[in-house]
Amino acid sequence: RERVVSGVQPTGSIHLGNYLGAIKNWVALQDTYETLFIVVDDHATTQPYDPQQLRKATRDTAALYLACGVDISKSSVFVQSHVPAHMELMWLLSSSTPIGWLQKMTQFKEKSRKEGAENAAVSLFTYPVLMASDILLYQAEYVPVGEDQKQHLELTRDLAQRVNHLYGGRKWKKLGGRGGSLFKIPEPLIPPVGARVMSLTDGLSKMSKSAPSDQSRINLLDSKDLIADKIKRCKTDSFAGLEFDNAERPECNNLLSVYQIVSGKTKEEVMEECKDMSWGTFKPLLADALIEHLSPVQVRYQEITAETGYLDKVLSEGADRATEIAVPTVRNLRQAMGFLILD
Ligand code: AQP
């Protein structure tokens, strides 16, 4: 079966952007593809972080995958650091990655702005190479991600092509390999709505775990009251009525899009229902729809985390399956790169 791989960093609370941009879309893919969903903890150390929080955030992120509908009878769920092949492949791929490619990455520019590029960690700079390993290791055909990861996916594709060209085909065959491509070229799956959920306090910035204000995001585990309060206080505008796609009304477009997804309605139905509404009428409607949508996720999360040992067992089995796929990929690349491999 064709494979799908994706992941979220355990850098904080999973928010509505991670959910609508990525996790929610994973669930629908489980029946058609072999799916692997990773808690990418090695990525979480690329910016200053609290070691006291990482373990908990790692388990919480995995538990939320399951609570959102990832089904372990269909998917493998595991932690990146439990499969050391990610690191090994990253090193091998680094040798084929021109520095200039990484210098173009907008996420590095944005994430290093605060401390300055000179002070940012080397791992923040090389992050896209690790992300490429996360995907190429499993020979994934598709990668469901939000809009912000599009550029990293492009780099992954370019890198796979470059390595196939440098080491694959006849050159690999001469070294005893099977020849052909070393890596599949993955394609991003970016949802038509929800690919870029914006901050509740600024419709021009994306909703983000690392934004200092918790008011700017809805976390999947926020209580009903907190969700209602955040929506009540979120930024709006003073235009009459509500509308999609007006560049002068980014907050309006964002909130309507969120409502569209969580209510399960079409864009036309949302327009019909909401076009003449005031913010005072729309906000409680949105808050209720969000609460209704997230309640079952929260109930399942409590059940999963209440069962001692369950989650760790899931993660251990997931890592075993991932390792089965990952080890031959690295071995093939080492062989094609000319390393001495002992039988
Ligand atoms: N605002 C968003 N809208 C839609 N999708 C989003 N994603 C992130 N933010 C949005 C998608 O979530 C997946 C996992 O993201 P990540 O953990 O790799 O972190 P990130 O992309 O750097 O986003 P965050 O949550 O804002 O984290 P921080 O604050 O640490 O940078 C990806 O598929 C991403 O596209």
Encoded tokens for 288: 């209720």
Give the separation between CA 122 and CA 104, rounded to whole angstroms.
15
Residue 9 Cα: closest atom of ligand 1 = 17
Burial of 267 (0-12, 13-18, 19+ CB in 10 A): middle
What pLDDT does 63 receive?
A: 98
Give the number of C-alpha atoms closer than 13 A to the C-alpha of residue 238, restricted to the C-beta side: 0
What is the mean predicted confidence (pLDDT) over 139-168?
A: 97
Contacts of 302 (CB under 8 A, 6+ apart): none
Question: For residue 172, is pLDDT > 90?
Answer: yes
What pLDDT does 137 receive?
A: 98
What pLDDT does 328 receive?
A: 98
Question: For residue 115, is pLDDT > 90?
Answer: no
With residue 6 as reference, give the H or E element that holds it: strand 3-8
Pocket test for ligand 1, best of 37, 45, 134, 148 (most atoms within 8 A of CB): 148
Q: How many CB atoms lie within 10 A of CB 111?
A: 18
Q: How confident is the model at residue 205 (pLDDT cuts 50, 70, 90)?
A: very high
Domain with CATH 1.10.240.10 in the chain: 214-303
Q: How confident is the model at residue 154 (pLDDT cuts 50, 70, 90)?
A: very high
pLDDT: is 13 or 327 the higher one?
327
Q: How many CB atoms lie within 10 A of CB 140?
A: 25
CATH of region 3-195+308-336: 3.40.50.620
Distance 241 CA to ligand 1 centre (A): 31
What pLDDT does 306 receive?
A: 96
Query: Is the Cβ–Cβ distance between 8 and 61 less than 8 Å?
Result: yes
- Number of helices (H), then strands (E), in the chain: 14, 5
CB 25 near ligand 1, within 6 Å:
no
| Average model confidence (pLDDT) across the chain | 97
Q: How confident is the model at residue 163 (pLDDT cuts 50, 70, 90)?
A: very high
CB 57 near ligand 1, within 6 Å:
no
Q: Give catalytic residues, as residue numbers.
A: 111, 206, 209
Q: Which of 151, 131, 140 is nearest to 187 (CA)?
A: 140
Residues in the chain: 343
Domain with CATH 3.40.50.620 in the chain: 3-195+308-336
What pLDDT does 225 receive?
A: 98
CB 135 near ligand 1, within 6 Å:
no
Q: How confident is the model at residue 179 (pLDDT cuts 50, 70, 90)?
A: very high
Give the separation between CA 332 and CA 65, rounded to whole angstroms.
31
What is the mean predicted confidence (pLDDT) over 54-60?
A: 96
DSSP conformation class of 198: B
Q: Where on the phi/psi map is residue 266: left (φ > 0), alpha (ψ -120 to 50), or beta?
A: beta
Q: How many CB atoms lie within 10 A of CB 193?
A: 14
Q: What is the pLDDT of residues 14-25, one digit of tens each?
A: 999 999 999 999
What is the mean predicted confidence (pLDDT) over 316-338?
A: 98
What pLDDT does 312 receive?
A: 97
Residue 206 Cα: closest atom of ligand 1 = 1
What pLDDT does 210 receive?
A: 87
DSSP conformation class of 141: S
Tokens 């890596």 belong to residue: 183
CB 21 near ligand 1, within 6 Å:
yes
Q: How confident is the model at residue 343 (pLDDT cuts 50, 70, 90)?
A: confident
Question: For residue 114, is pLDDT > 90?
Answer: no
Give the separation between CA 107 and CA 88, rounded to whole angstroms.
23
Q: Which of 157, 172, 127, 128 is nearest to 331 (CA)?
A: 172
Distance 343 CA to ligand 1 centre (A): 42
Superfamily of domain 214-303: Tyrosyl-Transfer RNA Synthetase (1.10.240.10)
What pLDDT does 222 receive?
A: 98
Give the separation between CA 58 and CA 155, rounded to whole angstroms.
26
Q: Do the strands 34-39 and 75-79 form a parallel or antiparallel pair, or are they unpaired?
A: parallel
What is the mean predicted confidence (pLDDT) over 65-83?
A: 98
Question: ipTM above 0.90?
Answer: yes
Encoded tokens for 176: 């005893």
What is the mean predicted confidence (pLDDT) over 202-230?
A: 96
What pLDDT does 295 receive?
A: 98
What's the pTM? 0.96
Pocket test for ligand 1, best of 50, 208, 213, 219 (most atoms within 8 A of CB): 208
Give the separation between CA 322 and CA 331, rounded to whole angstroms.
14
Q: What is the pLDDT of residues 250-297, one digit of tens each?
A: 999 999 999 999 999 999 999 999 999 999 999 999 999 999 999 999
Question: For residue 56, is pLDDT > 90?
Answer: yes
